[in-house]
């Protein structure tokens, strides 16, 4: 079977991190070590198949942006600024791709194995089954280090009508618990149209 979206999720998570970094000093390392997103999109032509077929809402104070990065579409919701000491904009990303031939378990297994191969510091913390809007989802919680920052993520995987949807909530490990209510509000607003 083909490799799925995990490398692109990593690139988008890293892009969002470097784009939303509020530190006064420009993090050149974060910018220069990003994977070649265009190349990954070219290698995964199903990315964002069915984009526009979902809706998701940002809570008060959060911003929502639909972005095109080297031809790939990404919906990003970012947290409000916490002040001068805020080094990271907590965020929720939604990416879609063709998942033809995959059931939910196979889709998650393929993504998980690709993530493990692409992120040397990844630590899988939990993997549970749940529902979202009446649809079966698998929820994967994991952490990894990027440019010296310890990040924690919750990724919701859903497959419907041969489209894979991945909603990823990202924060620093030290602030992750504080943003759970906002993450839940955002994820609960997700609907496939």
pLDDT in tens, 154-168: 999 999 988 888 999
The model's pTM is 0.78
**Which two tokens mark 116?**
């493990």
- In the block, residue with structure tokens 């290698």: 43
5-37, pLDDT tens digit by residue? 444 454 445 444 433 444 333 333 333 233 444
pLDDT of residue 38: 47
**Whole-angstrom distance, CA of residue 55 vs CA of residue 141:** 23
Q: What is the CATH number of domain 6-192?
A: 3.40.1000.10
Q: Are 40 and 29 in contact (CB under 8 A)?
A: no
Neighbouring residues of 82: CB distance < 8 A, sequence distance ≥ 6: none
Helix (H, G, I), strand (E, B), or coil: what is residue 135? strand
Report residue 87's pLDDT band, with 50, 70 and 90 as the boundaries. confident
* Better-predicted residue by pLDDT, 193 or 91: 91
93-142, pLDDT tens digit by residue? 998 888 889 999 999 999 898 888 888 899 999 999 999 989 999 999 99
Question: Between the CA of residue 172 and those of 75, 151, 153, 179, what are the distances in Å?
Answer: 20, 4, 9, 10
Taking each helix axis from N to C end, the angle separating 104-118 and 6-20, rounded to the nearest 10 degrees, works out to 60
pLDDT of residue 3: 45
pLDDT of residue 84: 66
pLDDT of residue 142: 96
31-76, pLDDT tens digit by residue? 323 344 445 445 554 455 544 478 899 899 999 988 766 545 678 8
**Whole-angstrom distance, CA of residue 61 vs CA of residue 137:** 27
115 phi and psi angles, rounded to 5 deg: -60, -45
Domain boundaries, the chain: 6-192
**Which two tokens mark 86?**
């805020």
* Better-predicted residue by pLDDT, 148 or 101: 101
């Amino acid at each position: 079977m083909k490799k799925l979206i995990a490398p692109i999720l990593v690139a988008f998570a890293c892009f969002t991190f470097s784009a939303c970094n509020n530190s006064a000093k420009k993090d050149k390392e974060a910018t220069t070590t990003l994977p070649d997103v265009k190349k990954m999109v070219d290698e995964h032509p199903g990315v964002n198949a069915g984009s526009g077929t979902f809706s998701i809402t940002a809570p008060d104070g959060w911003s929502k942006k639909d972005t095109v990065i080297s031809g790939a579409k990404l919906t990003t919701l970012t947290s409000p600024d916490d002040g001068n000491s805020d080094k990271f904009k907590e965020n929720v990303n939604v990416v879609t791709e063709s998942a033809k031939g995959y059931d939910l378990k196979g889709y998650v297994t393929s993504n998980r194995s690709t993530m493990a191969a692409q992120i040397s510091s990844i630590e899988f913390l939990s993997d549970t089954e749940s529902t979202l809007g009446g649809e079966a989802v698998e929820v994967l919680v994991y952490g990894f280090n990027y440019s010296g920052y310890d990040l924690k993520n919750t990724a919701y995987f859903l497959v419907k009508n041969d489209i894979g949807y991945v909603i990823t909530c990202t924060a620093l490990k030290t602030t992750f618990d504080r943003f759970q209510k906002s993450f839940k509000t955002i994820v609960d607003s997700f609907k496939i149209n």
